Amino acid sequence: MDRLHIAFFGPVNSGKSSLINALAGQEVSLVSPIPGTTTDPVRKAIELPGLGPCVLIDTAGLDDGSLLGSERERRTRDIVDETDIAVVLVTPVSQKHGHRCQKPGFFASGVPNFGTPDAPPVIYVSSKCDLGEDAPEWALPVSTVTGEGIGALLERMAEVAPKEEQKWLTGKLVKPGDCVLLVMPQDSEAPKGRLILPQVQVLRELLDRGCNALCCTPESLQSALGKVTPDLVITDSQVFALVNAAIPAEMPLTSFSVLLAAAKGDIATFVEGASAIDRLTPNSRVLIAEACTHVPDSEDIGRVKIPALLRASVDPGSTGSLTIDIAAGNDFPEDLAPYDLIIHCGACVATKTLVRSRIRKALLAGVPITNYGIALAKLQGILDRIQIPR
């Protein structure tokens, strides 16, 4: 399950960092009377009573009037895309000075996305209420000095938290008692001594659903197939073609990234977007978008494997001049119009909210969007062969 991302927005010095520290019960963010103390988003994973696993996100204060301010404001705006609940601080002082954060319409006018139908719920907090200044009746009074309002804020957050019924990654692809074979390469890209998150999530889910799971690597695939006849094979998408060739044509096959794409994004849009691969020419421009920053290695799927397959599919036999840009973490471009296709990563550590917001931006810009798993299946000619969870 995605952690709930709760982000705190508001003017500089309004008490955002203090409120996060109070909720977390520890010093997550630096607090000081100097406006502009928080300059970049700070994230803290934590369990909150009534809410469960969350990520609290502190942001740089808006409207500090400095040249650096606009860059900070951009980074703060980027956070909006991954926000499940927005807590907006208003202070009596900011109101007196006619600060633009004073009205509930703030997000609709000041920050894009928040005026859209799938905007996250917003809780307005009147901070520093211990100072005894006039507070607007539409904001919840909170003080990190006296503790007033902290409990009420937690209750309010639990009320507005998006409630999602549990959705299985494997959907209707499995039933209790099924035998599922998981093909998980442990190459140089795999982290030392552990499995990657999608593999752990699927494995745990299969156990929860009463299935029998057998894990193997591409090297031990034949020996695993000699022992069991799986009802479903789930493979790492990088070895799709190899696994497809090794198993009977009628044996159901899917991949970890296809399962994640279905759970995190919009699978129909991704499948539709993959058809744009057929229309790419050497003059096309493709954006590879990664939801996190990680140190790429020589076998990196987004930077090495997919670009190589794309170039080979666009212009076999030549080096090709297809332009491929990479955007990692929050650096998703504001202007998507120059792109002919966006290929998004599996978003294993990102929220559904973030992926959906990027899909929306792509569609608004008229740019097809797909994801790693679907693109790899398409590039290996087996998109029609794989099972898509519903």
Ligand X SMILES: Nc1nc2c(ncn2[C@@H]2O[C@H](COP(=O)(O)OP(=O)(O)OP(=O)(O)O)[C@@H](O)[C@H]2O)c(=O)[nH]1
CB 204 within 8 A of CB 197: no
Tokens of residue 240, six digits: 């799709």
Indicate the residue among 5 and 128 with the shorter CB distance to ligand X: 128
349 binds ligand SF4 (CB under 6 A): yes
* Interface with ligand SF4, residue 309, by CB under 6 A: no
Residue 60 structure tokens: 């740089």
- Among 31, 80, 153, 206, contact with ligand X (rule: CB under 6 A): 31
- Residues in 86-115 that interact with ligand X by CB under 6 A: none
DSSP state of 26: S
Return the one option of ligand SF4, ligand X, Mg ion, none that residue 127 interacts with (CB less than 5 to 8 A, by type): ligand X
Residues 114-143 that bind ligand X (CB under 6 A): 127-128, 130-131, 143
Provide φ and ψ at 89, rounded to 5°: -90, 135
The radius of gyration computed from the CA coordinates of the chain, to the nearest angstrom, equals 24
Instruction: Rule CB under 6 A: choose which of 6, 253, 345, 369 binds ligand SF4.
Output: 345
Q: Cα dist. 336→82, 287, 366 in Å?
A: 18, 9, 9
H runs (alpha helix) in the chain: 16-24, 67-80, 92-96, 106-110, 150-160, 197-208, 221-227, 240-246, 256-264, 267-274, 306-314, 352-364, 372-379
61 binding ligand X? (CB under 6 A): yes
Token pair recorded at residue 50: 């009534």
Partner in contact with 348, chosen from Mg ion, ligand X, ligand SF4, none, beta carbon below 5 to 8 Å by kind: ligand SF4
For position 16 contacting ligand X by CB under 6 A, the verdict is: yes
Collapsing DSSP to helix, strand or coil, 33 comes out as coil
For Mg ion, the closer CB: 90 or 336: 90
The distance of closest approach from Cβ of residue 117 to ligand SF4 in the complex, given in angstroms and rounded to an integer, is 26
* Binds ligand X by CB under 6 A, chosen from 4, 14, 140, 254: 14
Q: Locate 353 and state its tokens.
A: 């909210």
Site membership for ligand X, residue 13 (CB under 6 A)? yes
Tokens of 164: 């999602």
x-marked contacts with ligand SF4 along 288-307 as a string, rule CB under 6 A: --xxx-x-------------
Are 322 and 311 spatial neighbours (Cβ–Cβ below 8 Å)? yes
For position 69 contacting ligand X by CB under 6 A, the verdict is: no
- Given the rule CB under 6 A, which of 32-40, 94-102, 242-250, 359-367 is the region that contacts ligand X? 32-40
For Cα atoms 260, 235, 179, give the angle at the middle one, nearest 5 degrees: 100
Site residues (vs ligand X, CB under 6 A)? 12-18, 31-33, 35-38, 61, 127-128, 130-131, 143-145
Site residues (vs ligand SF4, CB under 6 A)? 290-292, 294, 345-350
Site residues (vs Mg ion, CB under 5 A)? 17, 37-38
